[in-house]
Amino acid sequence: MAVTIYTATGCARCKIAKKYMAQKGVEYRDLDIKAEGKDEFNRFYRENRKSVYRGPDGIEFPVYFDGQVVKQGLGVVVGHVSSPKVAGFFGVGLLHGEWVDGIHISQGDPEAIDELVEALAYLKSAGMKFEMDTDGRNPQVLERLLAEGLGDVLIVRLIGTKDMYAAQGYDLAEVEKTMALAAKFPEYRFALAVRPVVRPDGAVEYLKPEEAGEIAAWVKEATGGNKHPFVLTPFDLKAAADERFAGLAPLEAKDLFIYRSKARAHQVMAAIA
Amino acid sequence: MSTSKSIEEMLFPAELRYSKEHTWVQATGATLKVGISDFAQDQLGEVIYVELPAEGDELDQDAEFGVIESAKSTSDLFMPISGEVVAVNHALEDEPGLVNQSPYQDGWMLEVKPSEPAQLKDILSAEDYLGLIKKEA
What is the ipTM for the molecules in this complex? 0.79
Give the SS3 label for residue B94.
helix
**How crowded is the C-beta side of A204, counted as CA atoms within 13 Å?**
10
- Give the single-character DSSP code of B125: P
**How crowded is the C-beta side of A210, counted as CA atoms within 13 Å?**
0
Q: What pLDDT shows up at residue B135?
A: 86
Query: Which residue ranges of chain A lie beneath pLDDT 50?
Result: none
Q: Which one is predicted more confidently, B30 or A216?
A: A216
Residues whose CB falls within 8 Å of the CB of residue A58, separated by 6 or more in sequence, listed in order: B70, B71, B72, B73, B74
Region class of B8: left (phi > 0), else alpha (psi between -120 and 50), else beta: alpha
Distance CA A4, CA A149 (A): 33
Subunit contact A34:B74, Cβ cutoff 8 A? no
A50: contact with B, CB 8 A cutoff: no
A34 chain-B contacts, CB cut-off 8 A? 46
Q: What pLDDT shows up at residue A95?
A: 87
Confidence bin at B32 (pLDDT 50/70/90):
very high
| Residue A33, min C-alpha distance to chain B (Å) | 9
A9: contact with B, CB 8 A cutoff: no
Confidence bin at B28 (pLDDT 50/70/90):
confident
pLDDT tens, residue by residue, B54-106: 999 999 999 999 999 999 899 999 999 999 999 999 999 999 999 999 999 99
**Best CA proximity match to A262, nearest among A205, A216, A220:** A216
Confidence bin at B1 (pLDDT 50/70/90):
very low
pLDDT tens, residue by residue, A227-269: 999 999 998 888 788 888 888 888 888 899 999 999 999 999 9
A57 chain-B contacts, CB cut-off 8 A? 72
Predicted confidence (pLDDT) at residue B36 exceeds the cutoff of 50: yes
